[in-house]
Amino acid sequence: MGLFTVTLCCGVALATPGEPVLPELPVAPPPRLAGPPVAVVPLDGGYQLRLNRWAAGQLQTALDQTDEKDVAAKLREMAKEKKEGATPDEVAAGKLELIAFLVANQLPGFKKALRDNTGPGGAVVTVTGLQAPAVKFGRPRLDRAADLLRGAMPLLPPDARDAVEALRAMGRTTPLAWKVEPRE
């Protein structure tokens, strides 16, 4: 440092002519690529939901406002109505009871995992389970439409084909396990 260097009380040094002094500034993080708030990606044996930070926050807010015990009780009530209705439907009642059981037992852990594992870029929810060979809606028109769409897949543009394949993976998967990881 030269004779004319002065240190100010704020910590910035002034240099002699020809000797530049640059203040130390904090470095901003690199920009993130913009993308959709939610992306569905098919995997072998399941699928991934990739949520950006905003979408993960919205999902967390919705889950925090949901009481799993109330939802499970309502689902059990609906199952009871299915069993005791004018035309009893044991299969639908059984499905509703299973969903009620899963909501009551899995939702608290999912809330906590989402809260704890949301990273600076959001969260990635990986769902794995049993995969059926095809999506079946149980309604003849919807089943025919799905068959037509499956036949037209080679004609679709690549991005539309990826979106349809992701939705098919969701429809074919019977969830058995989930995992929430931070998205960087």
Q: How far apart are CA 43 and CA 128, in angstroms?
A: 8
In angstroms, the Cα distances linking 59 to 29, 52, 100 are: 25, 11, 20
What's the pLDDT score for residue 16? 59
Span 21-69, pLDDT tens digits: 677 888 888 887 778 899 999 999 999 999 999 999 999 999 999 999 9
Beta strand 123-131 with 173-182: parallel, antiparallel or unpaired? Answer: antiparallel
Check pLDDT > 60 for residue 4: no
Q: How far apart are CA 42 and CA 48, in angstroms?
A: 6
The 3-state secondary structure of 124-163 reads EEEEEEEECCCCCCCCHHHHHHHHHHHHHHHHCCHHHHHH
Using the structure block, give the residue that is written with the tokens 């993960």. Answer: 56
N residues, the chain: 184
